[in-house]
Amino acid sequence: MDDANATVTTLAELLHSPHPLTATASSLFSSTPPPHRSTSRHLLTALPRSTVLLGTLTLAALSPYPPCSCLRFSDASATLCCDLLHFRPAALNREIRVTAWNFIPFERHGRDVAHGLLEIINWRFSDPSHGSNAVDSLPLAPNGGGGSSARMRSIHGVVESVGPLSVVPCTMAASTSDLNSGAKVNLPGFLVQLVCCECRLCCSKEVLIDRLSESRKEHSFTKMEIVYFCGSASSWHPAITKLIDHRVVVSGLKKKLVYMTKEKSQVMYVTVDESVLHVGSCSEKCMPSLKSGMKGKGECGAYTGVVKGAYMQGMVLELDRDVWLLLTDQLHASMHGLRVGSIVSEANLLFS
């Protein structure tokens, strides 16, 4: 798409608009209603000219907790929560050019529009060289990723599921014989389950980053592993959720026996300041289809559908007018992208 003659607007100008806007010629998006909880519906107003945004994609800050469950888009005038298609970790902290987008304003405490959601449909790097690498590699902690240690572990796997963000009262025990020893901290984090490769090369101590350029068929993804993204890495939650079904390599991990209680423990990988996430820029993941995988009562499965209604402060979603989705985690209900008209793809659902 040639947008050389497009008008560049700012986020501050969007925030002055009382109406939902769209800067795309697609009739699918221009007729999509915004996330109102009432029975009223308002169409997105299509701008009469080609309009682009220039800004930086970032992760939400950790403080105050709970952190926002959305990515952020900023320019010199303002910052907005955002969601986007075709996510690449290399776009984080880089200037991108947004060529097709929706803007959904929200009201706060009955006042004028104070904030909103930017839905990024099409985008590209402002500097094409930033997206030229075959693998996106980013440290999970600010100023991290530079250290190395023989005790550090790496895993190569497919992201299967991502748990909710939570704060765990944690005791940094000095020994396993006394779990009450050491400093007590409130540790924010989330669990990620990966199906990891157990082939000879991936089980060796060699660097695994090159595995991402190999065909998925050359590997054996059979072993379940858990990675605990904690501390500074917990800000990655909205980004990791976009990598479900993608192959990743996470390096610089510690393998630890984590005690939930004095009697119950779980071996898992834990992120540290040196941890780095590696994602292949040419993913083998396909876009989800609209076919459902709904099963019988009491079974687990997956479902993809269009949100037709949102109720009980966003805790209940009506999909395709024949499936009701109950969100048991309050954080999911606060995600701005769960609006009427959105396509939602959920895995590990319990059908009843």
Query: If you ran DSSP here, which 8-state letter would residue 174 be given?
Result: S
pLDDT above 80 (res 61): no
- Which has more confidence, 58 or 25? 58
Given a contact cutoff of 8 angstroms between Cβ atoms, the answer to whether 59 and 86 are in contact is no
pLDDT of res. 11: 94
* Percent residues over pLDDT 90 in the chain: 31
In a 13 Å sphere around the CA of 143, the CA atoms on its Cβ side amount to 0
Mean pLDDT, to the nearest integer, of 187-211?
Answer: 83
| Mean pLDDT value across residues 272-280 | 92
Q: Tell me what the pLDDT averaged over the chain comes to.
A: 78
What is the pLDDT, as a whole number, of residue 280? Answer: 85
**Looking at residue 170, what is its pLDDT?**
67
Strand 79-84 vs strand 113-125: parallel, antiparallel, or unpaired? parallel
Residue pair 55/98 in contact by the 8 Å Cβ criterion: yes
| Mean pLDDT, range 13-34, rounded to an integer | 66
| Residue 29 zone, left/alpha/beta (φ > 0; ψ -120 to 50; rest) | alpha
The predicted model scores a pTM of 0.80
Between CA 233 and CA 73 the distance in angstroms is: 19
Mean pLDDT confidence for 89-99? 94
List Cα–Cα distances, 177 to 91, 112, 193, 258, 260, in angstroms: 45, 58, 28, 13, 15
1-5, 61-65, 107-111: which has the minimum mean pLDDT? 107-111
The predicted structure's pLDDT at residue 68: 65
pLDDT at 182 over 70: no
Q: So what's the pLDDT on residue 31?
A: 40
Considering only CA atoms, give the Rg of the chain: 21
Question: Which whole-number Å values give the CA distances from 281 to 169, 176, 234, 251, in the listed order?
Answer: 37, 41, 23, 17
pLDDT at 26 over 90: no
pLDDT at 327: 79
pLDDT at 339: 80
Using left for φ > 0, alpha for ψ between -120 and 50, and beta otherwise, residue 110 falls in: left
Q: What SS3 class is residue 67? A: coil
19, two tokens = 């109406």
| More reliable by pLDDT, 37 or 4 | 4
Q: For residue 310, what pLDDT is reported? A: 85
Nearest of 106, 101, 19, 22 to residue 57 by alpha carbon: 101
Joined together, the tokens standing for residue 213 give 């350029």
What is the amino acid identity at position 12?
A: A
pLDDT > 50? residue 158: yes
From CA 280, how far away is CA 210, in angstroms rounded? 9
Q: What angle do CA 317, 83, 122 make, to 5 degrees?
A: 120
Q: How many CB atoms lie within 10 A of CB 281?
A: 15
As a whole number, mean pLDDT of residues 257-269 equals 82
Q: How crowded is residue 58: how many other Cβ atoms within 10 Å of its Cβ?
A: 17
- Residue with the bigger pLDDT between 200 and 230: it is 230
**Half-sphere exposure of residue 62: CA atoms within 13 angstroms, side-chain side:** 18
